[in-house]
Each structure stands twice: as structure tokens, then as C-alpha cells.
Amino acid sequence: MYDKKNMVRPFSYNDILYCVNGEVKSLASLSFTTSFDDLSNLFNIDRNMIYNNILKKNINIYDNNAEINVFISEKKIEQITLNITNNIDMSLSSIFKNLENNNIALEDENIEASDGSILAEIYSHYGDKYKLVITKTKDELSIDYVNLKIN
């Protein structure tokens, strides 16, 4: 069972994804190797309260509000999710450009309504130890960076 814990201080980003050698290494400067001590400081929470929790914080992406969620189990960061509700197209374009510059290809799929209109665009990429899923709807852009490494 997860509890939500909120970060207190906002912080800002211009690079949503950090990539090296054709691999995504971090989302909003957080990676699966970010220490629990660093998470404790960033989210202003006691280190012992981090385990089996969802840490949540409002941040700024390109000077616009966004929300980051970090899902933590007993031993590791399981998932990092970034939700953007402003300047969705600009953010998505920046992500695509970054991935393209790092030779990271995406699979894409559309979810359509019965009338044929697009409800969501879903882009995904599998790395050796992670999965990246980008979902764009009319009102939101969600980037999920999922840890596939066991233990």
C-alpha cells in the first residue's frame, strides 16, 4: 500500500529527459539510481518514510506547472512519472527532438473514439532495464519512466 507524500519546494527544468549512448538515463533529473538520501532531501521527507510510498511534487517545465511522482518500493525506485498540462505540444516536440538526437526510436499507437477522433497518442521505447511510455491526450502529456530491473 502506497501513501502519497508531497514535496514542499518547487524546482524548474528545461531538459525533461537526459539521454546518453542511446539510452534514457533520467526523467526530470531523477533516475533509478537516485539515492534515497537525495530523495529525502528533494522531497523534504524523512528517509524512513520513503519506502513503499509515492512521492509527489509540483515542478516547473519551461516555466509551466507540472507534477512529478516517484513510486518507491522497499528497495528501489519503481517508476518516475511526469505530468504536464501546459505547452503540451512544445514539451512533446522537445522530447521527440532529444530522443531523435540520441538515436532512440519510439513505437507509436493511437487510441481512437468510435467516431475516429484520436483520444490519446501513445509512444513507447524499451531499453534493457527500463520502459519509457509517453501518452499525449488533449489536456495532458504524461511521461512514465518504468524500472524493469529486478531487485
Cβ pair 16, 133 in contact under 8 A: no
Q: Which pLDDT band, with edges at 50, 70 and 90, does 1 fall under?
A: very low
Cβ pair 50, 40 in contact under 8 A: yes
Type of residue found at 10 = P
Grid coordinates given for 48 = 524512513
* Average model confidence (pLDDT) across the chain: 88
Closest residue by Cα to residue 40 from 65, 13, 66, 77: 77
Please state, in angstroms and rounded to a whole number, the distance separating the CA atoms of residues 83 and 17: 13
pLDDT at position 65: 83
Q: Which pLDDT band, with edges at 50, 70 and 90, does 7 fall under?
A: very low
Decide: helix, strand or coil at residue 17: strand
In this predicted model, which residue has the larger pLDDT, 147 or 90?
Answer: 147
145 has pLDDT over 60: yes
Cβ pair 58, 65 in contact under 8 A: yes
Within 13 A of 127's CA, how many CA atoms are on the CB side? 22
pLDDT at position 14: 52
β-bridge partners, 72: 53, 77
pLDDT at position 5: 41
Type of residue found at 34 = T
**pLDDT tens string 18-76:** 999 999 999 988 999 999 999 999 899 999 999 999 999 988 877 678 999 999 998 89
Give how many domains the chain has, as a whole number.
1
Average pLDDT over residues 75-95: 93
Residue range(s) defining the domain that contains residue 134: 3-147
**pLDDT tens string 112-140:** 999 999 999 999 999 999 999 999 999 99
pLDDT at position 12: 44
Cβ pair 87, 77 in contact under 8 A: no
pLDDT at position 61: 78
Average pLDDT over residues 10-17: 60
Please state, in angstroms and rounded to a whole number, the distance separating the CA atoms of residues 129 and 19: 14
Please state, in angstroms and rounded to a whole number, the distance separating the CA atoms of residues 18 and 99: 9
